[in-house]
Chains A and B, each alone.
Chain A
């Protein structure tokens, strides 16, 4: 426990002291939120109504969590810092949680900033906002898992570019930018198999108070998150014996 807390504290410090990524992770979604809302005020489109846009943007902003985790982990590999952790008596669950847990408050802060900004564009304060943030927990876990996976597999130089592909895929296939039913066909089928649109929809349903609709989306995201987490943990453990 002490070892896990020591590592988690270090992860948190490392992230907060490297504000470039953090500013980017909060700044970009925020910028898009403001931009789309301003456009919306002039040319109303249903998908960009604040009740749709804000939860979509909160879900999207979480994709940056994977970027933070992957970059930190890949860097720790390249600087051999990870060797030290592996050589210490710390257990796999301790160091994996040491990397993963600090991402949760950061993700929560990202979502909070999205919703707070949305108040300025007419989002009505309600308890459903807290529910939406809670519902986004499996989405956060999903992106943490992506981050650990990429961090273990990729080098220092690959981590950022590959992760920006993930961020873009999450944005495009998440259903925040365009209504996926308009495209239809195979594209939509792929999108519904992937977790990204379900992350968006789960938060939208929660915010709208459409409680019955939450669960199927939540289950889909949770399934993906669990799958990826298991893969990340297994690869992490394998990596530990193969330096």
Chain B
């Protein structure tokens, strides 16, 4: 069974097509990076796959469960770290983590244990009893990501997880995320190309809602006839107007 299988997944917002006929298969344990410039449709794709947004057309199977017909089962398999830092401001770090664990079915005692482990893993233990709103932006970001990981999802969606982190925190997060490789299916979006290049097994490049290119970093470089990945990315996301002008 594949972790994710989308068939003709489409989302239209009043005339604008944000995601256009997406057909994509992601294997279990695969680390998949979804790239694309602002407005390409990455977040919209993730919102559909996490059952936060009903598709206008098409469907997707998440661990075999249809997001359109059996959202509840699909949800139990996944968790996400939204593009915005999503935490309860007046709860402490520990309470935030425990709340999410319990929302996914853990009882109080288990949730407490999972919260301890997550805080250790993300260097949040010292702030366990502090309200989330008193943390720095980077710490809040880490908490938000820890809240996605605490439920041990089969499929983990990370929408720009390193946004707003300093260099060291970003490196540390990379380490944490790459430790998941092979164990958890990860779908990551990012604007840091080197992040995708270093971590991902395969990279999908979206442009104006369509999946423009798909493959390993090396394959994409070869496809675009580029010597480095950044050039490849720019070539693959060039708008038609620009391409025409260049010809």
Residues of A within 8 A of B (CB): 2-3, 6-7, 10, 13-14, 17-18, 75-76, 79-81, 83-91, 240-243
Known: A2-B105, A6-B103, A80-B85. A87 touches B51 (CB 8 A): yes
Known: A6-B99, A13-B95, A89-B104. A80 touches B84 (CB 8 A): yes
A-B contact pairs, 17 of them (CB 8 A): A6-B98, A13-B90, A14-B88, A18-B90, A80-B84, A81-B87, A87-B50, A88-B75, A89-B103, A89-B105, A240-B52, A241-B53, A242-B53, A242-B54, A243-B47, A243-B52, A243-B53
A80 touches B75 (CB 8 A): no
Q: Which of B50, B78, B86, B147 has the most CB of A within 10 A?
A: B86
B72 touches A89 (CB 8 A): yes
Question: When the two chains form the complex, which single residue of B75, B89, B98, B99 contacts A89, counting CB atoms closer than 8 Å?
Answer: B75
Known: A3-B102, A90-B103. A83 touches B90 (CB 8 A): no
Chain B residues within 8 Å of A91, by CB = 72
Give the distance to chain B from A2, nearest Cβ to Cβ, in Å: 6
Residues of B within 8 A of A (CB): 47, 50-54, 72, 75-76, 78-80, 82-91, 95, 98-100, 102-105, 107, 131, 147
Chain B residues within 8 Å of A90, by CB = 103
Chain A residues within 8 Å of B91, by CB = 10, 13-14
B103 touches A88 (CB 8 A): yes
A79 touches B89 (CB 8 A): yes
Q: How far is the CA of A18 from the CA of B82 in the complex (A)?
A: 25
A2 touches B53 (CB 8 A): no
Give the distance to chain A from B109, nearest Cβ to Cβ, in Å: 12
Complex: chain A residue closest to B98, CB-CB: A6
Complex: chain A residue closest to B54, CB-CB: A241
Question: When the two chains form the complex, which single residue of A75, A84, A89 contacts B76, counting CB atoms closer than 8 Å?
Answer: A89
Q: How far is the CA of A130 from the CA of B98 in the complex (A)?
A: 37
Complex: chain A residue closest to B148, CB-CB: A84
Q: How far is the CA of A240 from the CA of B50 in the complex (A)?
A: 11
Question: When the two chains form the complex, which single residue of B79, B86, B105, B147 contacts A3, counting CB atoms closer than 8 Å?
Answer: B105
Give the distance to chain A from B45, nearest Cβ to Cβ, in Å: 13
Chain B residues within 8 Å of A81, by CB = 86-88
